[in-house]
Amino acid sequence: MHAQFLPSLLPSLDWITDTTRVAKLSQDFNWYSPVLKRQLSDKSADIVVRPTSQEQIQAVASACATHHIPLTIRGTGTGNYGQCVPLQGGVVLDMSAYNQVLWIENGIARAQSGIRLIDFDRVAKPKGHELRWIPSTFRSATLGGLYGGGFGGAGSINYGPIASLGNILKVKIMSVHETPQILEFEGHEALNFHHTYGTNAIVLELEFALAPSVPWMESIVCFDAFEEALHFANELSIGSGYSKKEVCFVSSSIPPYFTNLCTHFKSGAHAVLTVFAPCSEMGVKELAQKHKGDITYLKNAQEVEQSNRTLIEYTWNHTTLHALKVDKSLTYIQSGFDPTRYVEQIKTLEKALSDEVMMHIEFIRTKEGLVNASGLQIVRYSSDDRLQEIMQIYRDHGVQINNPHVYTLEDGKSANYLNPKILTTKDDLDPQGLLNPGKLRTWVRKTH
Ligand code: FAD
């Protein structure tokens, strides 16, 4: 049966059939990569469905399994690697209307996967809690999309990536069988579906640990010297007494792309964008002075709220977005430095490639608790071959590349290690290989 007949089988569901809307809901932000844009821009589902309940999701999963129709799950499509772009047509399962907070208690929450992160925090903050990490897309991105295709974000300087044990406590998932199974996994097993691009199950609910809510302040600090800016960012990140949520370092070629903020940057300056608690205001000022930095922007939580602008939307992959708005020929790379020598690695690579690669570093804590640098460098793209060469130069300096110019799990962030559990859970929960086909390259369908 063709996917377009599904509305006649399940008429009470919210189906989207208009081809323009279906095409739009089949794409994400893969266009950041000239390589992915070429490969994915013409890919589309046949139909989109937006369920509001577990029963409706179950009905879609069952119909797809019965009629062998590909099923690609979507949050709100802010992923960068074509994670939710269907390669083989079929149905896009848009989870954004499955979006209730179920409960918040004792620093733990449980929510449906389609909830937008901003909506979750709106409920959690009055109760004294907030999400441990928010991607810079927090206004639109969903919890299930962050878990299924993301890494972390602001807050990862304290709690590491989502994959750090203790962040995600339980996951409730649904299989794709004629009679879909509903299962719950906890502890380390709750990560078997994390960053799997929705290839091994439909995530229904997540239970996760929260952070205490803080009235965060925001600031931009400008520096004449690259090294002073880097050391300021590093000392702020390492300093255990500073209470912070975000430390983002950008070299001097990047701030001119922040056109809405340009009055807050000194011409030719390197900058650190930071989000910190009021108790650390004095510490940030002293540290800036030590490194000859000028604080050119400082807002308290109330001012941030009133301005309806947060510096978080200039960090992580929003930095790249602002640059792309000005110059569409740019692209980017993603890199994970060595926690024992990242400062030296950054300085060396800046010297080697500063004409072509604009340094953007997010400071994070690793799963093991070490402070480290995670790069989202902006690249002046010239050719696919040169892009590969640049990534190889990084690797040659001992920096891990999480290639954002590929759409399969095995070639991106999981290039060095793919959890074998991902393949075995797919055998069990999606035996026909209907979930996001083509994204899990090494999975082979078992013949029965
Ligand atoms: P989608 O893009 O819709 O989906 C992501 C993946 O998860 C897809 O493979 C999809 O199939 C799968 N998925 C979605 N819902 C489910 C579900 N219920 N069950 C199973 N699988 C599911 N990422 C970060 O980690 N940190 C950042 O700071 C960050 N900043 C960004 C800034 C910009 C400007 C952009 C464009 C991207 C950024 N990203 C970042 C990437 C992306 O925004 C995040 O990963 C985001 O959380 C994805 O959420 P989404 O709802 O848009 O997911």
Burial class (CB in 10 A: 0-12, 13-18, 19+), 241: exposed
Q: Would you tell me the crossing angle of helices 226-238 and 342-353 to the nearest 10 degrees? A: 150
Question: Tens digit of pLDDT for each residue in 159-201?
Answer: 999 999 999 999 999 999 999 999 999 999 999 999 999 999 9
| 314 DSSP 8-state letter | G
- Written as six digits, the tokens of 124 are 């959690």
Q: Read off the pLDDT of residues 61-74 as tens digits, 9 standing for 90 and up.
A: 999 999 999 999 99
Of all atoms in ligand 1, which is nearest to the CA of residue 96?
51
Choosing from 134, 139, 146 the residue with most ligand 1 atoms within 8 A of its CB, the one to mutate for a pocket test is: 146
Q: Which of 71, 115, 137 to mutate to test the pocket of ligand 1 (most atoms within 8 A of CB)?
A: 137
Contact 367, 160 (CB under 8 A): yes
DSSP single-letter state for residue 98:
-
Q: Indicate which residue's Cα is closest to atom 31 of ligand 1.
A: 317
Contacts (Cβ under 8 Å, ≥6 apart) of 77 = 25, 27, 28, 29, 84, 145
Out of 27, 33, 37, 74, mutate this one to test ligand 1's pocket (max ligand atoms within 8 Å of CB): namely 74
- The chain-wide mean pLDDT, for the chain, equals 97
Atom of ligand 1 nearest to the CA of 193: 20
pLDDT-derived band at 425, boundaries 50, 70, 90: very high
Strand-pairing partners, residue 250, are: 271, 360
Predicted pLDDT of residue 448: 60
Q: How far apart (Å, rounded) are the C-alpha atoms in residues 324 and 297?
A: 24
For residues 230-251, average pLDDT: 98
Mark residue 398 as left, alpha or beta (left: phi above 0; alpha: psi -120 to 50; beta: remaining).
left
List Cβ neighbours of 270 (8 Å cut-off, separation of 6 or more).
Answer: 222, 223, 224, 225, 226, 228, 229, 230, 249, 250, 251, 252
Task: Return the domain boundaries, the chain.
Answer: 1-214+411-448, 217-401
Rounded distance from Cα 107 to ligand 1 centre (Å): 24
How many C-beta atoms surround the C-beta of residue 243 within 10 A? Answer: 15
pLDDT for position 414: 79
Domain covering 1-214+411-448 assigned CATH 3.30.465.10 in the classification: yes
Ligand 1 centre distance from Cα of residue 207 (Å):
18
Q: Do residues 285 and 295 touch, judged by C-beta distance below 8 A? A: yes
Residue whose Cα lies nearest atom 6 of ligand 1: it is: 149
Residue 170 burial class via C-beta count within 10 angstroms: exposed 0-12, middle 13-18, buried 19 and up:
middle
Give the pLDDT confidence score for residue 413 in this predicted structure: 81
For residues 14 and 48, give the distance between their C-alpha atoms in angstroms, rounded to a whole number: 9
pLDDT reading at 367 higher than 80: yes
Place of tokens 């089949």: 26
Q: In whole angstroms, how large is the CA radius of gyration of the chain?
A: 22
Q: What is the CATH number of domain 217-401?
A: 3.40.462
Q: What is the pTM of this model?
A: 0.97
Which residues line the pocket of ligand 1, CB cutoff 6 A?
Answer: 28-29, 73-80, 83-84, 95, 113, 135-137, 141-142, 144-146, 148-153, 197-198, 202-203, 316-318, 321, 436
Residue nearest to atom 16 of ligand 1 (CA): 144
